Amino acid sequence: MKKKKIKIGAKILPLSLLSILPFIFLGNFEDKTVILIQGAISIVLTLIFISSSRVVFIKRFKYKCGVDELVCLAIFSFLIGVGFINLFGFYLYRSVAIFIMLSSLYIFGGGKTTIVSVVIALAPSILSLNLDYIACFTLITALSVIFYKKSKFLCALSALAVDVAFLALLKLYGAFYYLDVLYSVIPVCLFLFLPNSLFENLKSKADRLSEKLLSKYAINRMRVNVSGKLYDVAGVFSEMKQGFEKLKNTASSGDDLFGRMADEVMLSVCESCPSFARCNQKNMPERDELIKIISVGVAKNRISLIDLTKKFAESCGYLNSIIFEINSLIGKYREKVKEINDLSSGKELITMQSDGVSGVLKNMALDFSKNLSYLGETEKKVGSFLHKKGITFIEIMALGYDDFVEISLIISPDELDITALSTAVSEALECKMNVVSKTAISINSCAVTLRPAPLYDAAFGLSTAKKNGSISSGDTHALTKIDDGCFLIALSDGMGSGSYANQTSSTAISLIESFYKAGLESKVILGMVNKVLALNTDDNFSAIDVLTVNLFKNQGDFIKIGSPASYLITNDSIQIIEGNSLPLGILDDLKPTGVTIPVDEGSTVLMVTDGISDAFGSSTDLISYLKTLKTLNPQRLADDVLKKALLLDDGSPKDDMTVLAVRIFKKAS
């Protein structure tokens, strides 16, 4: 029917009935009731055989079987076993059974092989009405499970030992003859000496059947869709950036405004002058000459008689009107220039924002474009280890790419112990794993996700003092976590002291902290903060120290803007980290100093404001003092440095003082 492409449906029942008619009418049984019962059983078995045949001959084990198909396959295997024993005898069946159990153990693992051993034992158990066969085959599997991960040889040897014990000592299979041992030795030898590639090939096919392909496809499909949307939105912000750059290029220049001012003077003064016709015949006044006079007035902020050219002063009879009009236009010009500059700065700020957001979205899109791989072996390894530790779960999935791995579990809230779970998963994978999220799925279950954690962590110390007589400090700081393995430290010193300097400093720090957490690049962040401060009409300047530390790479990135030197303290040296750029808010074109430093275990970074550096007088004096300190505690270090600075200032600080210390240490295993 398959060859003829005929759909196998209900028509199989009458065909099955037709196939057993000769048996019913030509059978040797005198009791027709027995014949009818056996015929009915044959029809039922036909349905089972159809399902089993579909798995074996049509699906060919290439697809995952349903529960009904597995049940039918078990019954089919049992009946095949009955027929095999009737044809070839029990000893050969036992030999085949041992080989199947050992192979199944290698391919499927312990749990499924136990079920296989029970199914294989059903045929001899039912034929002999003796359940000892189930006990024997299950024990063979149980002992083999203990050794199969350690040694293939020990696994096979344990199966051989159990079978021979049942054969020779307990005489489970009847009278014992030495040649009967061959039926145990042959399957063990086949298992040991057949090429491993054969079993690995079967194992990979079995793993593909158990792989969560639909879940993997759904996850990666969602990631691809999100990645595409992020790229689209990033493109919008990129277009915005290009659009504002074009608008910036088309903005009016100073020469254009001078020309318009000259035209305005000629229109409002010259054309209403009684001498306009006479001057016009002499091409007076010359527009270029008037522009020169206006440019001098703009430079001086107003003009007078001495600023007029000799030619213009001698030819014009209404100089006072000209001077009054030009000075009036200069005032308007100042307002217009300020408006243009503010508009230009606003466009540049929006351009920077668009560029920054576009970069963040593109990076996110790139991350989402990476397909996650289903890590079946890792999943089994972690799952088996959790069971050994007594941690029960409902589901487990291991996904990853490159060196990244993520373990997700569905677990009962009553069974969840975050510390025990993260410790067990870390032991199983031989790397530190942290729980990064815990989400309630239902009353009886929650989802937990674990990801690799850095081997290192940081401890912080902070010590501050206000300027003598000041209400508040102009120094501010930030300590913030950017992601699981990266943190940001920032120290800002607003120019001056008191609430105004504090406002400037805290604004800069708040913006930097927010932009870094959003994922913007350093050059974009600092440019935007600088532009915001520069837009203010007051003199808002701020010296900034920014340090981002990646605990996975043990690397620190320093950005220094108008700040005093910082220091990297290791076991055998002290390194000075200096910058040479002006503070934020002074120049539109910001050029910060960037330095990358290694932050290995035991390293301490010390950041100070100019109140501290001025008190010590020089980096040499501060380093000399640091060499006298033996403390490993960053808070104690910060307190000692501040205490010494106050002592040098006679206990009356001449400026706000802040000391920030960060020490890198290895986490306890």
pLDDT, tens digit (0-9, with 9 covering 90-100), for 257-277: 777 777 777 777 777 777 777
Round to whole Å and give the CA distance between 348 and 69. Answer: 67
Q: What is the pLDDT of residue 643?
A: 92
Q: What is the pLDDT of residue 635?
A: 92
Q: Is the pLDDT of residue 82 over 80?
A: yes
Q: What is the pLDDT of residue 340?
A: 60
- Final residue before a domain boundary, out of 406, 437, 452: 452
pLDDT classification of 639: cutoffs 50, 70, 90: very high
Query: Are 267 and 334 in a shared domain?
Result: yes
Query: Are 341 and 421 in a shared domain?
Result: no
Query: Are 447 and 464 in a shared domain?
Result: no
| Phi, psi for residue 42 in degrees, rounded to 5 | -60, -40
Token pair 């009409």 in the structure block, residue: 537
Round to whole Å and give the CA distance between 569 and 564. Answer: 16
Q: Is 32 helix (H, G, I), strand (E, B) or coil?
A: helix
Q: What is the pLDDT of residue 383?
A: 85
The predicted-structure confidence for 117-152, as pLDDT tens digits, reads as follows 888 889 888 888 888 888 888 888 888 887 777 778
Query: Are 205 and 77 in a shared domain?
Result: yes
pTM exceeds 0.75: no
Q: Mean pLDDT over all residues of the chain? A: 76
Domain assignment present for residue 508? The answer is yes
> Left (φ > 0), alpha (ψ -120 to 50) or beta: where does 95 sit?
alpha
Domain assignment present for residue 244? The answer is yes
Q: What average pLDDT does range 297-312 have in this prediction?
A: 77
Query: Are 527 and 643 in a shared domain?
Result: yes
564: preceding bond cis by omega (within 30 degrees): no
Query: Are 477 and 413 in a shared domain?
Result: no
Tally of domains within the chain: 4
Q: What is the pLDDT of residue 251?
A: 45
The secondary element (H helix, E strand) that includes residue 352 is: helix 319-369
Domain assignment present for residue 191? The answer is yes
Q: Is the pLDDT of residue 253 over 70?
A: no
Structure tokens of 394?
């409902």
Q: Is 244 exposed, middle or buried (0-12, 13-18, 19+ CB in 10 A)?
A: buried
β-bridge mates for residue 566, sequence order? 577
Query: Are 463 and 611 in a shared domain?
Result: yes
Query: Are 251 and 295 in a shared domain?
Result: yes
Which residue would you say has higher pLDDT here, 355 or 389?
A: 389
- Final residue before a domain boundary, out of 321, 338, 370: 370
By residue range, what is the domain housing residue 142?
Answer: 61-210
Domain assignment present for residue 216? The answer is no
Which residue would you say has higher pLDDT here, 66 or 194?
A: 194
Query: Are 363 and 383 in a shared domain?
Result: no
Query: Are 267 and 245 in a shared domain?
Result: yes
Round to whole Å and give the CA distance between 18 and 37. Answer: 15
Q: What is the pLDDT of residue 376?
A: 76
Domain assignment present for residue 320? The answer is yes
Query: Angle, to 10 degrees, between the axis of helix 619-626 and the axis of helix 634-648?
Result: 130
The predicted-structure confidence for 184-222, as pLDDT tens digits, reads as follows 888 888 888 888 888 777 777 666 555 555 465 556 666
Q: Is the pLDDT of residue 544 over 80?
A: no
